[in-house]
Amino acid sequence: MRMKSAIQAAVAALVAAACSTEPLAINSLAFEKRAPLPGQMGYLETIKYIDDGMKYIDPSSEFFVSYTGDMCFRGLVNHQLATFEFYTNYWCMNPQAVNNVDLLQDNITNINAVRLWCAHAAPQCARRLGYPNYLDTNPGIANSISLEITPYQPGRAALEHLVYLMGGNVHQAGALR
């Protein structure tokens, strides 16, 4: 009997040692790949600035960097897919897959937005995560994420800066050559 419990204890210790790495936390500094330039916001300050800008428009919205290193947005982020969208879903995008960040002016509601576009090399890089919604027939992937944020021009700059800090490169939209 003692031999069996000693073997079980040894196996439990080996399993615990093999699984001793804890998953990374939300907004982990492990995803900061570059240091901020002098005079620029740091990694955590930029995340808070984006989250605060979204919460100003809608207190139920949320922004964070997931434990896998994706930028995740919660709220009504894709209005073109918003028929039955619930706030239990998150839209996430890897910062290395972001091609450019556009400004979207809304002259009807006067709540402007920004849109993060996927790079051509990584189409459909935006994915919806969360609980299944059987009323929503929209696909769980997209080629962009749009979100309402205020002020939207500094919000765009903050998103571009965060992509830079996380090792991505935002390209400005320009004319074809």
Average of per-residue pLDDT values in the chain: 79
Here the tokens at position 141 are 């992937």
Residue 126 confidence (pLDDT) above 70: yes
Per-residue pLDDT tens over the stretch 90-121: 889 999 999 999 988 888 878 888 999 999 88
Give the domain ranges of the chain: 24-165
Q: Which long-range contacts (CB under 8 A, 24 or more apart) does 58-63 make?
A: 58/148, 60/87, 61/87, 61/147, 61/148, 62/90
CA dist 157 and 50 (Å) reads 10
The answer to whether the beta carbons of residues 165 and 30 sit under 8 Å apart is no
pTM equals: 0.77
Q: How confident is the model at residue 75, as a pLDDT?
A: 74
CA dist 53 and 173 (Å) reads 24
The answer to whether the beta carbons of residues 146 and 162 sit under 8 Å apart is no
DSSP 131-156: S--TT--S-SEESEEEEE-SSHHHHH
